[in-house]
Chains A and B, each alone.
Chain A
């Protein structure tokens, strides 16, 4: 008996050999009965979900249903493997053990390095082709800042997909029920929904953002109104303060505008507005204020003086916004926003339910990425079942165009893409699968399919395309709000470029890198929460510490790639 037990125990050790399969995430083997050629498509299972590819897959599978791509196999199956492990860092760290044919991933900062290693299949022929008889090629449709990143040494190896940005969403029903829209003069609120409203942040009357807070001052006036009505003005996940920092980055980028933001990430630009700085000594510097106003100047940006991009005044104004918000407990849910008790999903659920559950205090606005709406699909559906509306319609949420620091800055929005998604084909793909894999890519990037994706996921992709009327009608209110922003001049910047500074310091493309300081940590939200009400610590001190962190000496010695 003992001997038998020893043998069984010894044999069980060999089970560890299964760890040698090289398939650490999900399953790369593919499903199906083996009678069809299988393409395995690994997809990151994040806020956008993975079901948006299903229709494209059906189309391509139908195209190849009678084709014999491999001997003895007729037809094609494209097998989707959704898993959270297929994030950018997850995919990159598994390089060498990639066993899927195609990948959809997000936050893929390693793209350039892997493209140069030829880890991906060259898809330039796909990107430079006109799909579905369209007038423009995929490349021509793609936003410029994305082209600059995805084209490496003259070739394309991946394509971007849905973008997302940090920002503020609002509950349209609460806004309408409480008349939270500014009147035409902007000095107060409307007394009815039919009354003329202010022009909104873009400064143009008669469009999607009329009545919404155009400036920081108006935003806080709105918060005051909501707080007086026993409505929590703003909330966010206290555990995921990085999303709030991401919103602050959006405020900073919007202040800078499109051209200055492109200059910031490419380290190439003329007349870029930066704060004036006084160099006290080699280790110390401070911003210059006059009568309490930050002084600025316009400079040429190069890689050598790239530290100046961290002097963009938008950072300072975003800090003032956050400081004012945190310092007033009435403007946000202190419990939800400062503790670890609410992760991002819990906060989304709380926000959604707050509008419906009469035992909860309503929350008007929510700070999260624009992908939160799709990510909260389960919570929204559950809420609709638990607390259906009287007429059975969906509750309305919308993505708010961010307020501007002052009235001089009114205009279209500029945002950065925090999603940084990419779809690529594994360079090691079986040659017989290349054609159908490329066909899938082409299908995904037709205007028709991009429009369909927008409808399904309430997100948009960085290409110029029209949304079909039927897709627009079927879109959620939230999706329409994103579309309205795009249609009214909102532009997205991809926060990576071929600049050596970015290639050597890929963290600069992530919003949280914006807020690194020498003395106050790396998250301004934590900073303001901990020092609430302390007059010695504020936006100016934090901004100063940011400037010290990126001072010329450190830039030249530690950040600029050494030749």
Chain B
């Protein structure tokens, strides 16, 4: 009896402790996570009546406005196109290069420490500072270098020049995103048993074979996380456009993440504008949610198994 009571008492204490610990995050999530999202979804189906100064139910009004605007706006068309093409660069190329550098660092090859610093630096330094330094480098120092060294007349910076702009933005996006991904890849690689590597070497595997047949399959789940979160965020990725260009990024490089951000800033706090943007967000979510789930299922199915 005494033992049972003691067990119940301990259980009760644990339940109380757990409840106290979880109350704050649960309430916070219900309000700021769940509640706000429900509010946003309902807002998507309302429009503003200028006569009554009230929001009114209008199931399709905002969506019709979006499709009408799509037909009229080069920026919107480019934004969607650029956002859909971004995964090639920001996900697949990023993963390819990220895994490569991670393997290089994991294997402690020549200069791996220097690479570590270079690749982690954008993650350590404030993003706004990094973008300012980068833009001053490519749009002030680089043109000056061309002018003074090669005598080029009125040279354009890499971000100013429409021919190099997209590549420069992609480069910066990749570089600034490496820090966190390499950290995770190297962490996942470090958890691979040394005995596997040794056994592979004994069987005559070179470094490349070991990477392809052992290391990458074993970190596949980590790679999968990056792919699925990247896909989920294709319409959120701003490509740092606002940090570089403020409101006036060229339509040719605009992304949906940037377009939505600019529209939100321009909303001026007016409810009618937020309702429209909610509808746009909902529409884009209807594309990204099933796409992400399907891709995740597919990659899980076809990807290498740990066994």
Instruction: Answer yes or no: do A and B interact.
Output: yes
Residues of A within 8 A of B (CB): 10, 13-14, 16-17, 88-95, 107-110, 113, 116-117, 238-242, 245, 329, 334-335, 338-343, 500, 503-504, 506-507, 510, 512, 516-523, 525-526, 529-530, 549, 554, 557-558, 561
Known: A241-B248, A242-B246, A340-B139. A117 touches B53 (CB 8 A): yes
Q: Which residues of B contact A109 (CB under 8 A)?
A: 268, 270
Q: Which residues of A contact B74 (CB under 8 A)?
A: 517-521
Q: For chain B, what secondary structure do more than half of its interface residues adopt (helix, strand, loop), or is it mixed?
A: helix
- State whether A335 and B157 are in contact (beta carbons under 8 Å apart), knowing that A110-B269, A500-B50, A510-B266 are contacts in the complex: yes
Residue in B144, B153, B252, B272 with the greatest tally of chain A CB atoms within 10 Å: B272
Tell me the B233-282 residues at the A interface (CB within 8 Å). 244-248, 250-252, 265-273
A113 touches B271 (CB 8 A): yes
**B162: CB under 8 A from chain A?**
yes
Q: Mark B155-180, 1 if CB is under 8 A from A, else 0.
A: 11101101000000000000000000
A518 CA / B225 CA spacing, docked (Å): 39
- What's the nearest-Cβ distance from chain A to residue B258, in Å? 13
**Judging by beta carbons under 8 Å apart, are B28 and A240 in contact?**
no
Among the listed A91, A334, A512, which residue makes an inter-chain contact with B269, where contact means beta carbons less than 8 Å apart?
A91
Which residue of A89, A500, A504 is within 8 Å of B268 (Cβ)? A89
Give Cα A239–Cα B267 distance, bound, in whole angstroms.
21
Q: Do A558 and B65 contact each other (CB < 8 Å), given the known contacts A340-B139, A503-B50, A510-B266?
A: yes
Considering the chains assembled together, what is the distance between the CA atoms of A523 and B254 in angstroms? 13
B58's closest neighbor in chain A, by CB?
A562
Measured between beta carbons, the chain A residues less than 8 angstroms from B250 are 521, 523, 526, 530
Closest Cβ of chain B: how far from A166's Cβ, in Å? Answer: 14
How many Å lie between the Cα of A329 and that of B50 in the bound state? Answer: 47
Known: A340-B244, A340-B245. A89 touches B267 (CB 8 A): yes
In angstroms, how far is the closest chain A Cβ from the Cβ of B51?
8
User: Within the complex, which residue of B75, B132, B154, B248 is in contact with A240, where a contact is CB–CB below 8 Å?
Assistant: B248
B135 part of interface (Cβ distance < 8 Å)? yes
Residues of A near B159 (CB, < 8 A) are 339-340
Given that A89-B268, A504-B48, A504-B50 are contacting pairs, would A16 and B28 also be in contact in the complex, using a CB cutoff of 8 Å? yes
Q: Is B124 an interface residue (CB 8 A)?
A: no
Closest to B28 in A: A16
Which residues of B125-169 are within 8 A (CB) of A? 132, 135-136, 138-140, 143-144, 153-157, 159-160, 162
Is the CB–CB distance between A338 and B248 below 8 Å?
A: no
Q: Looking at the complex, which one of B24, B140, B154, B265 makes contact with A17 (CB distance below 8 Å)?
A: B24
Q: By the criterion CB–CB under 8 Å, are B143 and A339 in contact?
A: yes
Please list 6 pairs of residues, one from A and one from B, whose beta carbons are closer than 8 Å in the complex, sorted by A's number.
Answer: A109-B268, A241-B248, A335-B154, A339-B160, A341-B136, A526-B250
* Minimal Cβ-Cβ distance residue in B for A551: B72
> What separation, in Å, do the CA atoms of A530 and B160 have in the docked complex?
9
The 3 closest A-B pairs by CB, nearest first: A92-B269, A339-B139, A521-B251
**A355–B250 alpha-carbon span in the complex (Å):** 31
Q: CB distance B154 to A334 under 8 Å?
A: yes
Other A-B contacts than A338-B156, A338-B157, A521-B74, 18 sampled, CB-CB below 8 A, are A90-B269, A92-B270, A93-B269, A107-B268, A110-B269, A239-B248, A329-B154, A334-B156, A339-B140, A340-B159, A340-B160, A341-B157, A518-B74, A519-B74, A521-B252, A526-B250, A526-B251, A558-B65
Which chain B residue shows the least CB distance to A420? B268
Closest beta carbon of chain A to B46's beta carbon, Å? 14
Closest Cβ of chain B: how far from A513's Cβ, in Å?
9
Q: Are A512 and B143 in contact (CB under 8 A)?
A: no
Shortest beta-carbon distance from A155 to chain B in Å: 14
Closest to B47 in A: A562
Which of A17, A88, A116, A512 sits near B53, CB closer than 8 Å?
A: A116
CA distance A538 to B250 in the complex (A): 17
Contact A554 B68, beta carbon cutoff 8 Å: yes
Contacts of B138 in A (CB 8 A): 339-341
Query: Does B25 belong to the interface (CB within 8 Å)?
Result: yes
Answer whether residue B21 sits at the interface, using C-beta atoms and an 8 A cutoff: yes
CB nearest neighbor in B for A283: B71
- Give CA–CA (A341, B69) in the complex, Å: 32
Say which residue of A113, A506, A549 sits within 8 Å of B72 (CB atoms).
Answer: A549
Q: How far is the CA of A544 from the CA of B25 in the complex (A)?
A: 55
**Which B residues touch A517, using CB under 8 A?**
74
Q: Residues of B contacting A92 with CB < 8 Å?
A: 268-270
Do the beta carbons of B68 and A558 come within 8 Å of each other? yes
- Which of A240, A335, A506, A557 has its CB near the most chain B CB atoms (within 10 A)? A335
A518 and B245 alpha carbons, distance in the complex (Å): 21
The reply to whether the CB of B73 lies closer than 8 angstroms to some CB of chain A is yes
Contact B268 A335 (CB under 8 A): no
Nearest-Cβ distance from residue A345 to partner chain B, whole angstroms: 11
Q: Distance (Å) between the CB of A170 and the closest chain B CB? A: 23
Measured CB to CB, the nearest residue on chain B to A13 is: B24
Q: Are A110 and B268 in contact (CB under 8 A)?
A: yes
Decide if B75 touches A239 in the complex (CB within 8 Å): no
Chain B residue contacts of A526, Cβ below 8 A: 248, 250-251
**Nearest A residue to B153, CB-CB:** A329
Q: Provide the residues of chain B in CB contact with A17, threshold 8 Å.
A: 24
